[in-house]
Structure 1
Amino acid sequence: MGMMNKFMNFLGLQEEEEVVERERIEQHEEQETETSPFEQRKQSKGNNNIVSIHSQKNVRVILNEPRSYEEAQDIADHLRSRRSVVVNLQRVRADQAVRIVDFLSGTIYALNGGISKLGPNIFLCTPDTVEIQGAITEMLADEPDYLKKR
């Protein structure tokens, strides 16, 4: 396209300033289409003057009840997509549950997210866009009889 503009300029059909302005606009449009939202946030980290209030329009919380260790990768994929996940590990053997929590902890660490225990074998895993406040303490001694394991 640059060659055509130079030719038009040579013939006197177009001014050089218009050519330069068009090329700038075309380059700017190409850069906007090539960058993903993640790259845009990465590039704008130096510019803390502008803060988007509506960074995520559709906030989803995924409920997941894995039955094997192989399903941990699906949970990690949700976290990579910036979705919070509530993980119920009550249907998994204890050794598998430990492996799943270890895998998710590594994933969350890599994504700068957070993990919080909500109850026995229930965890809340969040990406870095979600902040967890407060804590749920386990009080087994004060637990009513109908909630105790038989």
Structure 2
Amino acid sequence: MSMKGKFKNLFGLEDEYEIIHEEIQEQNEPKEPEEKNNVVSLKSVQSSSKVVLCEPRSYNEVQEIADHVVNRRSVVMNLQRVDAQQARQIIDFMSGTVYAMSGHIRKLGAQTFLCTPDHVEISGNITEVMEDYDPGQRW
């Protein structure tokens, strides 16, 4: 080894030179764009959407149905198994719940309703042609 090489080894200058050289080389390389953490997977959005089918037998079950809407699930209610007065009370209660959640309530059939929270968009209309209907039964 030459005197110059021994001097570098003694003071460790050769190692620093390599480190400095590597840092300069890293600075000259083009940087890759940093990944952003604000990307949302569509699978997670789709898996959280649920539709619950309910067929209450009395007004006492309305709180359980309303909890589904509060938990951001859509609810389809079939009110054929309750009498007209209880069905009106259920619709009134669910209308208040949906309003509080900034959601929507739509009539799908004679006694079938769709209640959705605010993140669900409903488009289209279902027209109901009722030739023989009881005006007291219609809500």
Return the TM-score normalized by structure 1.
0.58
Instruction: Give the corresponding residue for 1:33.
Output: none
- The structure-2 alpha-carbon separation of the partners of 1:128 and 1:121, relative to structure 1 and needing over 3 Å to count, comes to same
Partner Cα separation in structure 2 for residue 109 and residue 94 of structure 1? 22
CA distance in 1, matches of 2:115, 2:69: 8
Question: Hey, what does 1:119 align to over in structure 2?
Answer: 109
Structure 1 residue 59, shift from structure 2 partner: 1.7
Equivalent residue for 1:42?
none
1:93-108 equivalence runs, <5 A: 93-108=83-98
Unaligned runs of 5+ in 1: 1-49, 143-150
Displacement over 6 Å in runs of 4+? none
RMSD: 1.9
Which has the greater radius of gyration? 2
More contact order relative to length (CA 8 Å, sep ≥ 6): 2
Alignment equivalent of 1:87, drawn from 61, 77, 86: 77
Q: Once the two structures are superposed, what CA deviation does each residue of 1:40-62 show, in whole Å capped at 9, x if it has no partner?
A: xxxxxxxxxx7856345332110
Partner of 1:15: none
Aligned residues: 93
SS at match of 1:119: coil
Residue ranges of structure 2 left out of the alignment (5+ in a row): 1-37, 133-139
**TM-score of the two chains, using structure 2 as the length reference:** 0.62
